[in-house]
Chains A and B, each alone.
Chain A
Amino acid sequence: MVPVLIGTTLLIYLAVFALPGDPIRALGGDKPMPPAVYASLRHHYHLDQPLIVQYGHYLWGLVHGDFGETLNGQSVGDVMKTDWAVTARLGVTAWIFELVVGIALGVWAGRRKGGVVDTLVLSGTTLVIAVPTFVLAYCAQLIFGLKLGWFPTAGTDDGWPYSYLLPGIVLGSASLAYIARLTRTSLVENFRADYVRTAVAKGLTRRRVLVRHTLRNSLIPVVTYLGVDLGHLMAGAIVIEGIFNLPGIGGQIFTAIQIKDGPTVVGIATLLVLVYLFANLVVDLLYGVLDPRIRYE
């Protein structure tokens, strides 16, 4: 995991700092900056040293828990602390929604392959995947927020969970579609297995066969997907936070990219990568718990 972390942060660092555009000069605004001030600012942010040395400084600070300074002089860590909670709440809402509803829909559809529910779920999920998330977000905002008034349209005034319900549902919708399809396919495949045939031949009820035997095996690919899904949720949060006006780190990183605030971009991106790698690690361990075949290898 550590080489991957170093590799990814180096990639982001290179992408941000090798970019054209001079943010120090932009700090001065319309007035030209005195050369001495310019030089000292560049020295402060280590911009006058070779790229690898800059990266070395950054890694050293990272190991000490210091994410660096934004171009305004604030600590990146402080900036993230206030906004992190908003994004975390959004992510958790989306995650719970997609997990519960996705698996339920997948099980319902997989029980009778080719039935009415199955066809409905398959076509519904294909449609949801086809529509881009931001279009869904605007339509949901218009229909459920403005016209019907069921949810607040934007902002965090109503606190948790009301403000986060609609954004969370929209954010989780694409992943929900994937999870429902994955569960359904996995369930259908497992129904053809020998152990299910044995269980039914033994005279077990359909429900017991489903819950005690098939479900556990079918959920393994879903659990694997959930780790990857966190990355999608974090990326999607960038768009959703903008549309629903939630002050989270998704919006922060987007603004930072626009104004070329390198340290903020790298800081937030590093944090997101850390979370993502950690989630994948947890999924890998969980995989061993769920599937005994992996344990004995």
Chain B
Amino acid sequence: MSETTEVAATAQTGAVVSGASASLWGDAWRDLCRRVTFWVAVVILAFMGLLAAFPSLFTSAGPNGGCDVRQAKLRPKSWNPFAGGDHPFGTDTHGCDYWAQIVHGTRAPIIVGLLVTGIALVLAITLGSLSGYYGRLLDALLSRITDVFFGLPLLLGALVILTAFPSHGVLTESFVLGLLWWPTMTRLMRGQVLSVRDADYVQAARLLGARDPRIVVRHILPNAVAPVFVYGMLNVGVVIGYEATLDYLGVGLQYPTVSWGLQLSQAQEIFTDFPYLLIYPALFLTATVLSFLLLGDAVRDALDPKLR
């Protein structure tokens, strides 16, 4: 009895009631921890991250290294990769160990995915909030620009621009893709800012004399950014898929960079006789994209106020 009155008294005076944090992000984190798909996705992504960051832990060969053409196109001895032997996943057309190639091929797609989403997010948050908050001329100009980009199917634009740079690395490709990717996220951010802009607390802040930058950064951004953040997470997976398609078409990364998409492109002519050349990179690619999608879905469900 006395405990409840104590708690009530604390709540009345405005101090924090003892217990876990009751913010949106705190609740969302607790919800996430209870979901199985979240943990599955985190484990898979942690594994892929390890592969990308420390490839030497998993294989002794370097990228495109240790290739013996006399041992080209060796099938793996069994479906169980832990059965032992020199080449658990077989060898590719140049005789390189396929497992080593897959390990080294992890870094490029993940970096491209993260970089492109990062660039698009930064552009989207700045331009979206400026255009949503200030409105009028800036907004009209930005809307027309995003309309123009929307009229261009993404693969087409990427194909045309990337063909201009014959030998480009991860950074150039990320830059070009980021340039093509920002309109969708900017539209989303702008919509969110528009819905938050007329809220009472924003009016109150303005009446209290807060300047524009402070209102945008401290009041509008934290409340508008959640869906954009979720979309960004889902987006990393989509970008990785697109990057693999561009590699397959021959306009993405080139030899000597190793990436899963390039492995798939090399496998395309002979995969009917050597299906393992297609299956293993495809498996890793699908697992990574799937994990990002599951992660984004889980975060979105956790942040959704209607499902709470």
Residues of A at the B interface (CB closer than 8 Å) are: 3-5, 7-8, 11-12, 15-16, 18-21, 126-127, 129-135, 138-139, 142, 146, 231-232, 234-236, 238-239, 242-243, 253-254, 257-258, 260, 265, 269, 272-273, 276-277
Contact B164 A272, beta carbon cutoff 8 Å: no
From known contacts A257-B159, A265-B160, infer whether A126 and B293 are also in contact, taking CB-CB under 8 Å. Answer: yes
Within 8 A of A (CB), among B117-156: 144-145, 147-156
From known contacts A8-B152, A126-B297, A232-B153, infer whether A134 and B160 are also in contact, taking CB-CB under 8 Å. Answer: no
User: For A131, what are the chain B residues with a Cβ–Cβ distance below 8 Å?
Assistant: 282, 285-286, 289
User: For A127, what are the chain B residues with a Cβ–Cβ distance below 8 Å?
Assistant: 286, 290
A234 vs B155: C-alpha distance in the bound complex, in angstroms?
9
A265 vs B153: C-alpha distance in the bound complex, in angstroms?
14
A272 vs B160: C-alpha distance in the bound complex, in angstroms?
14
Q: How many residues of B contact A (CB 8 A)?
A: 40
- Our pick among B160, B282, B293 for the contact of A135 (Cβ within 8 Å) is B282
- Our pick among B159, B249, B264, B290 for the contact of A130 (Cβ within 8 Å) is B290
From known contacts A234-B153, A257-B163, A269-B160, infer whether A129 and B148 are also in contact, taking CB-CB under 8 Å. Answer: no
Contact B164 A273, beta carbon cutoff 8 Å: no
Contact A134 B264, beta carbon cutoff 8 Å: yes
Looking at the complex, which of B15-23, B72-80, B203-211, B267-275 is the stretch in contact with chain A? B267-275
Q: B157 interface residue, CB < 8 Å from A?
A: yes
Dominant SS at the A interface? helix
Q: In this complex, which of B156, B245, B268, B272 has the most chain A Cβ atoms within 10 angstroms of its Cβ? A: B156
Can you list 24 contacts pairing A with B, beta carbon distance less than 8 Å?
A3-B148, A4-B148, A5-B151, A8-B151, A12-B152, A19-B163, A19-B164, A126-B293, A126-B294, A131-B289, A132-B241, A132-B285, A132-B286, A135-B264, A135-B286, A138-B271, A142-B271, A231-B153, A231-B154, A238-B155, A238-B156, A238-B159, A257-B160, A277-B151
- Our pick among B145, B154, B157, B285 for the contact of A15 (Cβ within 8 Å) is B157
- Our pick among A3, A19, A242, A258 for the contact of B144 (Cβ within 8 Å) is A3
Contact A132 B151, beta carbon cutoff 8 Å: no
From known contacts A4-B148, A8-B148, infer whether A272 and B244 are also in contact, taking CB-CB under 8 Å. Answer: no
Q: B196 interface residue, CB < 8 Å from A?
A: no
A242, closest chain B residue (CB): B249
A131 vs B248: C-alpha distance in the bound complex, in angstroms?
14
